[in-house]
Amino acid sequence: MFGDYFSRALIAGVGLALVAGPLGCFVVWRRMAYFGDTMAHSALLGVALSILLSINMTLGVFAVAALVAGALIVLQRQATLSTDALLGILSHSTLAVGLVLVGFITTVRIDLMGFLFGDILAVSVEDIAIIYGGGVAILVILILAWRPLLASTVSPELAEAEGLRPEASRLILMILMASVIAIAMKLVGVLLITSLLIIPAATARRLSATPEMMAAVAAVLGAIAVVGGLFGSRTWDTASGPSIVVMALLIFLVSLAVPVTRLFGRGETHGA
């Protein structure tokens, strides 16, 4: 089943979507979209450093994304600039430094477009092993830490008062995001990673009554977007990474048209 490049792309993409959906729910709930973007943009810096230092690329990207998240926390504590401005600085400067460093690398031929927009059709069996190994680890951590993660998302004060540790939850989420970015970069590229986190989760909101349901629906919708996008890209010969995102967007737009207002509770008046 790993024989041809198209099945490998499908398997890899679906694996990624199943992890990105549930994690993406937290990104949406905690309003971390721009934060995710910033971590993703830093992935290119991770790629450049990995090549220069000859270390494993997945590890390099993970380390740089985690460092950027840590840097943001430290800068936030100083409270001089707004988080918004800090994210803008970190996001674009890490991307720019990454691009400049890539220019210095002459030993290896670098497919810059592949890193920016992904090259899902080039995934190897080894890549699939990394995606599924990493993906299962991420999901297991997410499930084990689910209750405290959700409680500190709803109210950090409440979680803290009842003996949970919201700071630890925040750290766990950042590490999980850095991991997803590390395994997703090769598939959809640094510029499109956060769309796989956010769009399926945002779509799932209208179809869900509980957080757990939203996580599951987001995973399924993400997988549908990957399959639809890949078949679309094969049919119309379009770029595969962007096609997946366009498919996710189409599902989102369709979900807006579906009248789900009376599906749950006493009526979702806030959804209109």
Partner 1 sequence: MDARAQRETLITLSNAGVTRGGRTLVSGVDLTIARGEIVTLIGPNGSGKSTTAKLATGVLKPSIGTVLRKPGLRIGYVPQKLTIDWTLPLTVDRLMTLTGRYSASEISAALEAVGAARLLKAAVQELSGGEFQRVLFARAMIRKPDLLVLDEPVQGVDFSGEVALYDLVRQIRDTTQSGILMISHDLHVVMAETDTVICLNGHVCCRGTPSAVKRSPEYLKLFGERAAGSLAIYQHHHDHEHHDDGCVVAEGHEHDDEGHDHAGHHHG
Q: Does 77 engage in binding with partner 1 (CB under 8 A)? A: no
From the list 39-47, 116-124, 187-195, 209-217, the region that binds partner 1 by CB under 8 A is 209-217
Q: Does 272 engage in binding with partner 1 (CB under 8 A)? A: no
Among 81, 140, 143, 209, contact with partner 1 (rule: CB under 8 A): 209
Neighbours of 96 (CB within 10 A): 13
- Is-contact 125 199, C-beta < 8 A? no
Q: How far apart are CA 221 and CA 65, in angstroms?
A: 26
Least distance to partner 1 from the beta carbon of 177, Å?
A: 17
Residues 235-264 that bind partner 1 (CB under 8 A): 264
Neighbours of 7 (CB within 10 A): 13
Residues 25-44 that bind partner 1 (CB under 8 A): 28-29, 31
- Burial string for 177-207 (b: 16+ CB within 10 Å, else e) reads bbbbbbbbbbbbbbbbbbbbbbbbbbbbbbb
User: Which one-letter DSSP state was computed for residue 190?
Assistant: T
Q: How far apart are CA 207 and CA 175, in angstroms?
A: 28
Among 88, 211, 228, 232, contact with partner 1 (rule: CB under 8 A): 211
Q: Please give the structure tokens belonging to residue 23.
A: 């994690």
At position 24, the amino acid (one-letter code) is G
Least distance to partner 1 from the beta carbon of 22, Å?
A: 14
Q: Does 53 engage in binding with partner 1 (CB under 8 A)? A: no
Q: Does 3 engage in binding with partner 1 (CB under 8 A)? A: no
- Is-contact 98 115, C-beta < 8 A? no
- Is-contact 118 189, C-beta < 8 A? yes
Q: Between residues 8 and 206, which has the closer beta carbon with respect to partner 1?
A: 206
Q: Between residues 133 and 271, which has the closer beta carbon with respect to partner 1?
A: 271
Q: Does 231 engage in binding with partner 1 (CB under 8 A)? A: no
Residues 134-193 that bind partner 1 (CB under 8 A): 147-148, 150-151, 153-155, 157-164
Least distance to partner 1 from the beta carbon of 216, Å?
A: 12
Q: Between residues 113 and 158, which has the closer beta carbon with respect to partner 1?
A: 158
Q: Residue 108: what are its φ and ψ, rounded to 5°?
A: -115, 140
Distances (CA, A) of 167 to 159, 163, 238: 10, 12, 43
For partner 1, the binding residues (CB under 8 A) are: 28-29, 31, 147-148, 150-151, 153-155, 157-164, 202, 205, 208-211, 213-214, 264-271
